[in-house]
Amino acid sequence: MLYCNSMKVMFKCLWKNCGKVLSTAAGIQRHIRTIHLGRNCDSDCSDGEEDFYYSEIKLHTDLVADGLSSLSPVSPSILSPGPPPPSPLPSFNQLSDSHRPPQSSDVKEPHAGGTTPLSRSAPSALYLIHTDHAYQATAPVSIPSSSSNSSGSACTSFTPSNSSNFSISWQSPPVTFTGATVSPSKSQGFGEQRSQTIAVLSSPPRATTALSRKVRGEGKKCRKVYGMENRDMWCTACRWKKACQRFTD
């Protein structure tokens, strides 16, 4: 067994890019009420909604310097409603801001080469890094050059309208290989080359799942947080079955 004498409980805001960490539950609740929910209630008019927007994290005070490997976010709905332990512990908010490799200047991740499948297993280790938008842009930025226009404009103008979000959405190309060019002429005569073992031989079974479909986000989204019965509390994107825009992880 470990001698985990010194353990600390913090509360992390789950709102979009906030990531604020406070040491008391009352503090994070007030933060969420005033900042995100926009309520100017004085103290205790909590209808419990702000409980959805933060999570409790435990961390050892020893390992906090380098490890940060023992952080287990648990749902705050079961935490004791009693008064939180009075331990201010300030200046702990952005602990992981200077923890990035100095190489990535603009791009989200270094992401070597184009053809490496980048089999990233056990992603929970770097979940705590909490980059601003470490999300979408898991695909190489090389235009697949399919359907090249007749005019020879080689340089692909990207039109960097807003540097906020550009979605490449590298979908797998339509590989519906049906054997040969189906000729719809019904009077083919007699040679109806019916079946010649239509085995789609050019479709790898595991077509790099990391790239094909954006590797679904980790954290809970509105649907799981609020539940089906509270659907009107979801964000609009979740209601329309689009990518959640409240809990972007």
Partner DNA sequence: GGTGCCGGGTG
Partner DNA sequence: CACCCGGCACC
Which spans of this chain sit near DNA (rule: CB under 7 A)?
169, 171, 209, 212-217, 220-224, 228, 236, 238-244
Shortest CB 197 distance to Zn ion, Å? 46
Question: How many other C-beta atoms are found inside a 10 Å radius of the C-beta of residue 25?
Answer: 23
**Contacts with Zn ion, 174-203, as mask; x by CB under 5 A:** ------------------------------
Q: Which of 10, 28, 139, 244 binds Zn ion (CB under 5 A)?
A: 244
- Spatial contact of 246 and 222, defined as CB atoms under 8 Å apart: yes
Q: Which SS3 state, helix, strand or coil, does residue 12 take?
A: strand
**Which partner, DNA, Zn ion, none, binds residue 130 by CB below 5 to 8 Å per kind?**
none
Question: Which of residues 152 and 173 has its CB atom nearest to DNA in the complex?
Answer: 173
If binding is defined by CB under 5 A, does position 14 make contact with Zn ion? no
Q: Which 85-144 residues touch Zn ion, going by CB under 5 A?
A: none
In contact, 6 and 61? CB cutoff 8 Å: yes
Identify the CA nearest to 140 among candidates 106, 110, 164, 175. Answer: 110
184 within 8 A of 210, measured Cβ to Cβ: no
**Residue number with CB closer to Zn ion (18 or 235):** 235
**Residue spans of alpha helices (H) in the chain:** 25-31, 209-212, 222-226, 236-239
Question: Which chain residues interact with Zn ion by CB under 5 A?
Answer: 222, 235, 238, 244, 246
